[in-house]
Structure 1
């Protein structure tokens, strides 16, 4: 059995990464530090929930940019994990023309790079919205190439995969891109160097197909078919310079790929889990456990949901006087509970088109906080309490829904954790 891996959880929310990793192996993954801070909010509810659930770790409730380099360097973290916000990653050279490449002010990915430079962890796991691979619209894939270039410059390899949780048996059709990042001097990385002949790596042949389709962490934990979607694949060599990666990127990025030593191979893969999605009905609470406040009897509100979910053709006038028609397709009047839920957003539970709208035995209602937690594979009532100034308080339903809209499907992280566990046990240092 491997020694413990000390973990730093950035952008921690209410602890989704930690739950997933501890479900994979609580003895292996030891989260010693967390950071959670909402700059636009006076109250720090997510931090307070995390602190209530995990009082044993050092929970840092300040802006990540305010954590000093010295503090990061003091952490003996073997892993950094986090789901960071998707922002504009465009860069410009610093005045000193050095590695001090600065992104747009407030871009949190650069804080991950700073932490990685200070800590030099063995592994990292990140999660983001899948549109990151196609951003920005005018230069698709550029933002992702900047990330790969930055991680390559620090001596890391990156494997990525877009995963729809429902396609691997879960109760939510939530598509997110996950990254498994590993240091190039680890035994696992050296094994890959030998197996896949480093000199020919990714050089316009299929030498890495076996890795992406069979041997890689994602291939083992989230199987895909041994075929390409629309025969799409691409190779690309990244520049050493981050500014060049930003200004000159012309490659393509698909939903599956691997980057090693500045070269990447990417394919458009097709899931092949062999598992049926979990239907929404399987995570709903029995009617006798659902409080009346989640049922909607106000006819005006019921009519509002019908309007929001219906098709629309609305004439609008732009600021410069141009008249146009805004069109929106219709949705089903209410959820089909024989299917997994749709992607949950932070507006869940409000009178909103994206809210899960249920009709059970002729009565309309919204999801309960417990059901929202189940959609993300959190334990029931995980977000019910928080601790503020040493006092335990209840969290509002609105904030509990907001947390889950921001969270991730913890069982996906659990599977990634199991993959890392296999690597750690097989490739000893």
Structure 2
């Protein structure tokens, strides 16, 4: 049994993915709270599928972390926020109020799970703009102080065969005293990324070296491989917050304060799911756009290229420009990334030409679910349609989590085998 605690649970994407991978994953506690919402639709959806037992609809900052059940794996998708910290006199070191990372950190300190799997938007690696990499550096330093090693990878679901071009960073942390961590060669962290690490088996990458075996120049599509090695030397988290800066690449590992990060390229030889593969037939008329020329003209304007003169808050004039988006969306390729505003009249909303009727329409809530790998009508639990789209704009791709669940199951099995062998050796 792998005991799991789920934070910021939403409508249950992590749970659905992990339980699809193995029935060994047992969720012992979950938390979902939507601030400023009188009706907690996501929580209601979650309990409609999994039951209310051990699922808490409370602001996580108000939860006593010591009262959370012990668990082996902590999972959650959390927002990208301001991770800066400061010294505050009597209170010591304190982060910006309301930043949810600190709630995760407090749980790690209180419960000490062996493994952690988190999901976030990929801009986390580059934020803030004035001190690139600081926020992720703060996270890594927190993990390091709590005795964890960390591997990360930015994964575009479409590059591994799924139907949405959704790019997210996944962060896998593990206690540095686990048997799994003992396999890390800290003199060659690159080896972990390419050979033995968490993501490589389920999400392989191209092996790129120059003729001398150095990871410098690519023979793959003439790409230049960018990599960096860094040692985190700091007095405390405030020191990291004030001074740390690193251009993190889309993959990397941190162990005992040593960082290796490299720009990697996905290697996938399987089949691809396209937008057309997830479309419904006999779609309700309410999703169609034709019949209102003024509305169609607005869609065309929103999707088109434009240059608009604007004035900044300081009075400076500048030209805001954006390129065109395909209108309608091509259905013979994976879909663009869904946002929480999906279905509203805005530039990012998907508009397709229905292959059955040859008419323009929005994607349906069920199609939005399919783009994230949820079961049909997963969110059809009494919530308004607008919020169904909102939930899918916030959700992760369940199929990616299932693949990661396979990897975690294998790691835990190996841990248990190593522990069993150790007990036998002691007995003898």
User: Is the pair's TM-score, using the shorter chain for normalization, greater than 0.5?
Assistant: yes
1:29 is aligned to 25
The counterpart of 2:59, out of the listed 58, 63, 69, is: 63
Task: Determine if contact 2:164/2:336 at 8 Å carries over to the other structure.
Answer: yes
Corresponding residue of 1:211: 192
Corresponding residue SS for 2:407: helix
- 1:16 maps to 13
Give the Cα–Cα distance (whole angstroms) in 1 for the partners of residues 53 and 233 of structure 2.
39
Give the distance between the partners of 1:56 and 1:30, measured in 2 at CA: 14
| Structure 1 segment 87-236 matched on structure 2, within 5 A | 87-96=81-90, 101-192=93-184, 196=185, 201-202=186-187, 207-227=188-208, 229-236=223-230
- How far residue 320 of structure 1 moved from its aligned partner, in angstroms, is 4.3
Structure-2 residue corresponding to 1:43: 39
Q: Secondary structure at the match of 1:132?
A: helix
Separation in 1, partners of 2:246, 2:193: 19
- Match of residue 384 from structure 1: 380
1:7 aligns with 2:11: no
Give the conservation status (yes or no) of the 8 Å contact 2:137–2:245: no
Shift of 1:319: 4.2
The CA deviation string for residues 60-96 of structure 1, in whole angstroms up to 9 with x for no partner, is 1010000013323xx1211110000100101112424
**Offset at 1:381?**
0.3
Q: Which has the higher strand share?
A: 1
Aligned match of 1:253 = 248
CA deviation map 1:234-268 (0-9, x unaligned): 11111351111111113331111011111111100
1:304 and 2:298 correspond: yes
Q: Given that residues 167 and 276 in structure 1 are in contact (C-alpha distance below 8 angstroms), is that contact kept between their aligned partners in structure 2? A: no
Unaligned runs of 5+ in 2: 209-217, 420-428
Distance in 2, matches of 1:401 and 1:79, equals 29
SS of 1:219's partner is: coil
Cα distance in 1 for residues equivalent to 2:332 and 2:138 = 41
Q: For 1:175-195, what per-residue CA distance to the aligned partner results, in whole angstroms no more than 9, with x for missing partners?
A: 000011111121212233xxx
After the TM superposition, which segments of 4 or more aligned residues of structure 1 sit over 4 Å from their partners?
none
Q: Supply the distance in 1 between the matched residues of 2:368 and 2:347 (Cα, whole angstroms).
A: 16
Q: How far apart are residue 314 of structure 1 and its match?
A: 1.8
Give the Cα separation in 1 of the matches to 2:415 and 2:66.
Answer: 31
CA RMSD of aligned residues (A): 1.5
Q: Report the 3-state secondary structure (helix = DSSP H, G, I; strand = E; otherwise coil) of the residue aligned with 2:334.
A: coil
1 CA distance for matches of 2:323 and 2:271?
28
- Tell me if structure 1 keeps the 8 A contact 2:128–2:135: yes
Deviation string 1:86-107 (CA, Å, 9 cap, x unpaired) is: 0010111242475xx3111000
Say which SS state the counterpart of residue 80 (structure 1) adopts.
Answer: strand
Cα deviation, residue 56, structure 1: 5.6
Normalising by structure 1, what TM-score?
A: 0.90
CA distance in 2, matches of 1:213, 1:161: 12
Number of positions where the alignment pairs a residue of Structure 1 with one of Structure 2: 400
Q: What TM-score do you get using the length of structure 2 for normalisation? A: 0.90
